[in-house]
Each structure stands twice: as C-alpha cells, then as structure tokens.
Amino acid sequence: MNHIELRHLRYFIAVADELHFGRAAERLHISQPPLSQQIQALEAHIGAQLLNRNNRNVSLTQAGEMFLKEARQIISRVNDASLQAAKIHRGEAGNLTLGLTSSAPFLRRVQRTIQRFHLLYPDVNIRIEEMNSTQQIEPLLEGRIDLGIMRNRQLPDTLNHQLLLSEPLVAVVHEDNPLVNLPAGELTFQHLADQPFVFFSKDAGTSLYDDILTLLDSQGITPFITQDVGEPLTIIGLVSAGLGVSILPASYLRIQVDGVRYLRFGKQQGTTQVWMVNHRYRPVSAPANAFMKLMMQDQQP
C-alpha cells in the first residue's frame, strides 16, 4: 500500500470498535481475509503495530489507541466537509453579498425575501452593502457583490436586470403646507412647480435624480431647488424643518417624521422601477440563485 486511503481508516475503526475481525467484516460488508490483509498493510505502511491479536482476542496497542483517536477525527472532518460542500452546492450554505439602495430595505417584497431566505438557509452568511444604483455597478462587474437591488438606470451590457416592481412616487411636504388640504386624488406635479424644492445633489449618484427631474421636465416643470443633499433621509429632515417640498418613492411612507406629510398624486402619478441586477456572464453562486428564485416567486407588492 503506497498511501493510506479513507477506506483503510474506516476498516481500522470498525475492527477497533468490534475488537473482532469477523464482526467488523460483517459490518463493512466484506469478507474477513481481505480485511485482515488491509489492516496488516496499514500497520506496515505506518511502521507500528496497532492491534494485538491471537486466536481468541483482539485489543488495541498504545499506538493503536492514539491512531484510533486521530482516525476518528479525520473521518469526522471529511464527513463534515462533504456535508458542507453539498450544502454550498445546493445554496444552503456559503456567502451572499447584496447591494441595496437606501430605500430597498423599506420595500416589503425585499424585506419578505430576505426574511424567508434567512429562515430557509440559516447557514448562509448574508452581507448587506448599502449603495445607490450608480455605486453598485462596479462591484457587480468585479464580483464584489452577487446581486444588486437598484433603481432603473442605464447598465453596461455585461449586467442583466429583472424588474421587481414599479413603485409610485409621492410628494413630501411639511404638515403646514396648504397642499395637504387638497382633496385626495387631485394633487398633480404642477402643484409643486412654484414650491422651493429639496432634492438630491447631482453628484449623489442616485437614479432618482434623473428619474424625477425627467418626469418633471415632461410636465414642463423646472423645479426651484433650494437645497441639494446626498441622502433621502436628509431630504425628509429638511422638509420637516420647513425648507421646501420634495418627491420620493412611496416606500418612504414607512418613515414617519414629525411635521412631514406624504401626499399621493392623482392621475399624473409617476413611478420608478426597482430592479434586481446580476452579472450576465459570471456564474451565479448557488446562494445567489436561491435568493433570486425566492425574490421572483414573490409577486406581492
């Protein structure tokens, strides 16, 4: 025997457990003579006697006791590694890195999918990276994140997107703004035309900047932007301070801030799309594939 194989360790463990070659052979479903030959070859390869045997008894030598302990640990580690590899192959273990825009955690569909995935695959380590839509592109291209949840925007050809939902936009105003007294369904974008506007900075990199300004431009509106900031929560805070109005996706209705009211538009209501994005050509990991399937199975808003 030129090297020790796992089967030799299993043979030895069976004999050590039974302390009887006949019973060990039955347990292993082999005949006794080949088992004896394999144990002798194992001892010759190691250069140590592992078993004392005579016509009546089999017992472990001191070297055999030590070797038995190590052999059990080796078999246990191999079994554990096999189970772990199989779980990773099925998407039940491993790592999953998600890029999420700041609004994505407020989307019920995203929340439900993350929660369900965590319950179904507790051994998968989920890492969340908060990035706006623009910031997600390079990590997706380089493989630093597996999947991106982002707003609609122009993507490189190497990235693939799936539509998750079209989310309505809402007006964000101070509670003392006269617009809050409009009857439901009558608010239009024109009502915001002369209002001081709190909005994203162009350098913020969010797709909402282009989405909303393009939508307003289609209505002949050039907003009077008095404050430009980088984060939607900052926008809501400045509206709360009475510095102007804004437009945000309806997912932000779940953020309640003193002094702020969210108003739904009527027939002119615009929407913004939410996409799930992955690399078109790089193989999708099993955990990422499982997450994608869960997300696309959920058709609730």
d(CA 262, CA 271): 15
Q: How far apart are the first and last CA of the chain?
A: 64
Write down the CATH number for the domain with range 95-300.
3.40.190.290
Position 1 pLDDT exceeds 90 = no
Whether 298 shows a pLDDT value over 90: the answer reads: no
CA atoms within 13 A of residue 278's CA, in its CB half-sphere: 18
- Report the pLDDT value the prediction gives residue 268, as an integer from 0 to 100: 64
Q: Residue 241: its pLDDT value, please? A: 96
- Report the pLDDT value the prediction gives residue 54, as an integer from 0 to 100: 80
Residue 104 has pLDDT above 60, yes or no: yes
Residue 123 · residue 92 · CB < 8 Å: yes
- Domain 6-90 indexed as CATH 1.10.10.10: yes
Distance CA 147, CA 145 (A): 6
Q: Which residues contact 172 (CB under 8 A, 6 or more apart)?
A: 198, 235, 236, 239, 245, 246, 247, 248, 252, 260, 261, 262, 263
**Domain locations along the chain:** 6-90, 95-300
Q: What is the mean predicted confidence (pLDDT) over 50-64?
A: 89
pLDDT confidence band for 126 (50 / 70 / 90): very high
Taking 70 as the threshold, does the pLDDT of residue 2 lie above it?
no
Kind and range of the H or E run holding 140 = helix 133-142
Cα–Cα distance, 225 to 208 (Å, whole number): 15
Rounded mean pLDDT of the chain? 91
pLDDT score for 87: 75
Q: What is the pLDDT of residues 220-256, one digit of tens each?
A: 999 999 999 989 999 999 999 999 999 999 999 989 9
Across-strand partners of 126? 96
- Nearest Cα to 156, choosing from 174, 180, 181, 139? 139
Per-residue pLDDT at 300? 74
Q: Which amino acid is at 90?
A: R
By DSSP bridging, strand 271-279 and strand 147-151 are antiparallel
Residue whose structure tokens are 């510095």: 243
Residue given tokens 């070297």 in the structure block: 63
| Residue 153 to residue 210: CA distance in whole angstroms | 9
Percent of the chain with pLDDT over 70: 99
Question: Using one digit for the tens of pLDDT, what is the confidence trace for 64-101?
Answer: 999 999 999 999 999 888 888 887 777 777 899 999 99
Q: How far apart are alpha carbons 117 and 124 in whole angstroms? A: 9
Percent of the chain at pLDDT exceeding 90: 74
Rounded to whole angstroms, what are the CA distances from 25 to 4, 11, 22, 267? 19, 8, 5, 81
Q: Per-residue pLDDT tens for 185-218?
A: 899 999 999 999 999 998 887 888 988 999 999 9
